[in-house]
Amino acid sequence: GAVVSQHPSWVICKSGTSVKIECRSLDFQATTMFWYRQFPKQSLMLMATSNEGSKATYEQGVEKDKFLINHASLTLSTLTVTSAHPEDSSFYICSARDSYTFPYQETQYFGPGTRLLVL
Amino acid sequence: AQSVAQPEDQVNVAEGNPLTVKCTYSVSGNPYLFWYVQYPNRGLQFLLKYITGDNLVKGSYGFEAEFNKSQTSFHLKKPSALVSDSALYFCALSYNTDKLIFGTGTRLQVFP
C-alpha cells in the first residue's frame, strides 16, 4: 500500500515552454500533497503544500506564478512549471499523506521523482 | 526553530559489519521522526518512524532506529550491512505541522 506515482519520470523541454508534472496517490486518498525540489547532492527543499480543493501554500522564495499547483481531487496534484528556463532544471518530487488511515496519517509517501531538463 | 542535523556526509562500512547513520534534532517539544532512503534518480522510500512509545523502532529492510530524548538523537542502525544498502539516507522531523524538515543526507557506502 501507500504508493505514489509521478508522471513523467523525466522531461526535456525548450526554454519558454510550460511543463506539467502529475502526482497521484494510487491506493489511498490524500487531502494534502507536497512538492519538493532537489538539487544535485542536496537535500529536499519544500516548495509548496497542495491542499485538495483549495489554493496551495507556497514556501518563502517560491514563485507561485511560476510553479502552478492544482489539487483537483483526493488522488491527484499537478505542478506546472510555466515559461521554464534552464535554472528550473531540477529533480521534482511529490509526496502525499494518507488522510484517513491510522496510523499512516503521520507519514509522507514519496513519488519516484521527475527530472526536468530545460534547454 | 526546528532543525535536523546529519553530521556525516558519508559513511563507509564493510559488508556484514554493523552500520550507524547519525541524526540529531532540535525542537522545543516532542517531534515525529522519520528515516527515508533514496536510491539514484529515485524518490524517497520510507524506512521507519518514531511517533511515541517504545524508543527502539524497527523498520524496513532490517533497519532500526533509537529515539534518545536526552541526547536529541535518532540514529539509524543495522546489525549487518549489505552492499544493496548503499544509498542516500535522510533523517526528517515534523512538529505541530504537516511539513517535514530534512537533514542534509548521509551517503552510505557498503563495500563487499
- Give B30 or A47, the one with higher predicted confidence: A47
**By CB neighbour count within 10 A (0-12 exposed, 13-18 middle, 19+ buried), where does A87 fall?**
exposed
Tens of pLDDT, residues B49-97: 998 889 999 999 999 999 999 999 999 999 999 999 999 999 999 887 7
- CB distance A108–B32 less than 8 Å? no
* All cell numbers assigned to B31: 517531534
Contacts of B98 in chain A (CB under 8 A): 32, 34, 49, 97
What mean pLDDT comes out for the span A100-119? 84
CB B100 within 8 A of CB B106: no
pLDDT value, residue A99: 77
Please give, rounded to a whole number of angstroms, the shortest distance from the CA of A43 to a CA of chain B. 5
Specify the DSSP element, H or E, that contains B79.
none
Give the whole-angstrom CA distance, residue B71 versus residue B89. Answer: 20
Nearest to B43 among A32, A103, A110 (CB): A110
Work out the mean pLDDT of chain B and round it to a whole number: 93
Q: Which residue among A32, A110, A115 sits closest to B98, beta carbon to beta carbon?
A: A32
Q: Which three cell numbers stand for residue B47?
A: 524506512
The pLDDT score that the predictor gives to residue A1 is 66
Higher per-residue confidence, B111 vs B41? B111
Pick from B95, B92, B108, B93: which is nearest to B36 by CA?
B92
Query: Is a pLDDT exceeding 70 seen at residue A105?
Result: no
Quick one: pLDDT at residue A103? 62
Average the pLDDT over A56-76 and give the result: 94
- Is pLDDT at B28 greater than 90 in this prediction? no
Per-residue cell: B37: 532512503
Report the C-alpha gap between A100 and B12 in whole angstroms.
Answer: 40
